[in-house]
């Protein structure tokens, strides 16, 4: 059937498609960045041009499907379907399948050099761990599924409202992610439901200190395989990291200790995300050095992601951190980049202090704000349940914001 419509020079057509085929069409068009109506138009053009009828498509359970097509195309399609003795539902399904076959899912673009994202701020309680986890999870989601994502261009405009406008369903990024819990408090490890490493066993601290007890790869655990498809891994923390600065003080080229430990793992991952401790000591030097831009690495791929809050003490801590990074840049001639600022736990209900502080962060243009994460109950619930936020509450506003952050730094 067809009925007149007012969508430019197109007409609205109504037929049927099976749900599985409609979902594949929705995902694939999002992957290629085109509209569903354009894909159906192309599929029908291909189908009517065939010399013979293609294979039968299973249309059991087909239900209503509507789109807009150029005037006259649906009439030509019905005529061709009649000549081929197939129903319009079957013909449309074959046309959609033909478009899918002609437009395979694009492959994941792997970085030539494994990216390193160092999430830091020596002030405790700003939410570095939550941002590390949410960012890693968002980078690892299924590229063949759709997830709600806040549109980046509306970042500032939407920061003080719960209105979900500006949200689109986009494919997951599908990257292979290693999250490194570099904090002796083990918050990231505990929040994701993993066990901290025993203090009498092997650990990242041992490898950085030059006394490994085995292969660091053996310590890695997989996070929620069902949701993340084996792409999201965690290197758990150990409380022995409280002694890391002491051990590093006697290590040769101590600033490169984290890189020496993690380098053998990098070939297995697209991105390594490091959750740093609230410290300005030698461990932070090693983390910052790990995130430096390497030879032949493109700008903006690796660096420091600073988590702050919309309040005054966070600004004071930020100054201390940037001073340390600038010292490292100057003393060691390092090419260290800021990937941006993340304003976390933002709640406009706290009044002038919160809103004016946010304006202050937004006024900083180098580094710029790349994410505004609200304070939401789903984050606390996920921590309590020891579940990844994006699989526990995938449609929550905070998950939507985490995906926006991932696309800003991806």
Please report whether residue 265 resides in a domain.
yes
Give the range of the structural domain holding residue 355, as residue numbers without chain letter. 115-409
Domain count, the chain: 2
Please report whether residue 340 resides in a domain.
yes
Residues 78 and 219 in one domain: no
Which of 70, 102, 134 is the C-terminal boundary of a domain?
Answer: 102
Residues 164 and 306 in one domain: yes
Average pLDDT over residues 389-408: 96
Alpha carbon 319 to its chain's center:
28
Residues 324 and 386 in one domain: yes
Residues 192 and 67 in one domain: no
Please report whether residue 108 resides in a domain.
no
Instruction: Give the CATH number of the domain where residue 248 resides.
Output: 3.40.50.300
Residues 94 and 173 in one domain: no
Residues 227 and 372 in one domain: yes
Token couple for 155: 């970042």
Residues 268 and 378 in one domain: yes
Token couple for 330: 């100057």
> What's the distance, Cα to Cα, between the start and end of the chain in Å?
44
- Contact between 202 and 213 (Cβ < 8 Å): yes
Residues 229 and 122 in one domain: yes
pLDDT band for 390, please (50, 70, 90 cuts). very high
Mean pLDDT lowest for which of 217-221, 225-229, 361-365? 361-365
Cis peptide bond upstream of 367, omega within 30? yes
Global pTM reads 0.89
Instruction: Give the CATH number of the domain where residue 11 resides.
Output: 1.10.1220
- Contact between 393 and 140 (Cβ < 8 Å): no
**Distance of CA 62 to CAs 22, 58, 67, 182, 298, Å?**
9, 9, 15, 51, 48
Which of 102, 123, 142 is the C-terminal boundary of a domain?
Answer: 102
For the chain, give the percent of residues with pLDDT over 90.
Answer: 74
Task: Say what the alpha-carbon torsion angle 221, 227, 232, 238 is, to the nearest 10 degrees.
Answer: -40
Residues 250 and 335 in one domain: yes
Residues 119 and 98 in one domain: no
Residues 224-264: tens digit of each pLDDT: 999 999 999 999 999 988 889 888 888 888 999 999 999 99
Residues 31-62: tens digit of each pLDDT: 999 999 999 999 999 999 999 989 999 999 99
Q: Is 201 a residue whose pLDDT tops 90?
A: yes
Residues 257 and 352 in one domain: yes
Please report whether residue 233 resides in a domain.
yes
Please report whether residue 107 resides in a domain.
no
- Contact between 128 and 305 (Cβ < 8 Å): no
Q: Which residue has the tokens 């009925």?
A: 3
Residues 128-179: tens digit of each pLDDT: 999 999 999 999 999 999 999 987 554 444 444 444 448 899 999 999 999 9
Residues 265 and 204 in one domain: yes
Please report whether residue 11 resides in a domain.
yes
Q: How much is the pLDDT for 343?
A: 94
Average pLDDT over residues 343-358: 85
């Amino acid at each position: 059937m067809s009925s007149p419509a007012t969508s430019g020079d197109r007409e609205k057509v109504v037929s049927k498609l099976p749900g599985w085929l409609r979902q594949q069409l929705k995902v694939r068009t999002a992957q290629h960045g085109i509209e569903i109506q354009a894909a159906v138009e192309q599929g029908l053009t291909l189908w009517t041009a065939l010399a013979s009828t293609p294979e039968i498509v299973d249309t059991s359970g087909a239900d209503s499907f509507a789109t807009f097509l150029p005037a006259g195309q649906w009439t030509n399609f019905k005529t061709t379907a009649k000549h081929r003795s197939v129903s319009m539902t079957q013909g449309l399904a074959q046309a959609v399948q033909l478009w899918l076959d002609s437009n395979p899912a694009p492959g994941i673009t792997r970085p030539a050099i494994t990216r390193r994202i160092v999430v830091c701020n020596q002030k405790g309680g700003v939410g570095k761990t939550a941002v590390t986890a949410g960012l890693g999870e968002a980078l690892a989601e299924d590229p063949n599924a759709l997830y709600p994502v806040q549109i980046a261009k509306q970042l500032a405009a939407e920061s003080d409202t719960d209105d979900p406008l500006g949200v689109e369903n986009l494919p997951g990024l599908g990257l292979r992610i290693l999250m490194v819990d570099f904090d002796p408090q083990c918050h990231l490890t505990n929040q994701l439901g993993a066990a901290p490493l025993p203090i009498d066993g092997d650990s990242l601290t041992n490898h950085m200190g030059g006394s490994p007890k085995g292969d660091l790869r053996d310590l890695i655990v997989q996070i929620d395989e069902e949701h993340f498809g084996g792409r999201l891994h965690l290197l758990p923390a150990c409380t022995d990291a409280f002694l890391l600065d002491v051990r590093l003080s006697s290590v040769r080229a101590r600033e490169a200790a984290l890189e020496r430990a993690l380098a053998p793992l990098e070939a297995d991952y697209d991105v390594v995300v490091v959750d740093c401790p609230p410290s300005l000591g030698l461990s932070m030097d090693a983390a910052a050095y790990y995130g430096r831009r390497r030879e032949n690495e493109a700008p903006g791929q690796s660096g420091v992601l600073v988590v702050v809050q919309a309040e005054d003490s966070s600004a004071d801590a930020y100054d201390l951190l940037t001073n340390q990074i600038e010292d490292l840049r100057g003393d060691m001639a390092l090419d260290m980049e800021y990937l941006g600022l993340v304003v976390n736990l933002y709640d406009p209900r706290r009044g002038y202090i919160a809103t004016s502080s946010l304006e202050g962060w937004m006024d900083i243009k180098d580094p710029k704000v790349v994410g505004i994460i609200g304070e939401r109950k789903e984050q606390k619930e996920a921590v309590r349940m020891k579940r990844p936020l994006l699989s526990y509450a995938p449609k929550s506003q905070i998950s939507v914001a985490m995906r926006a952050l991932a696309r800003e730094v991806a």
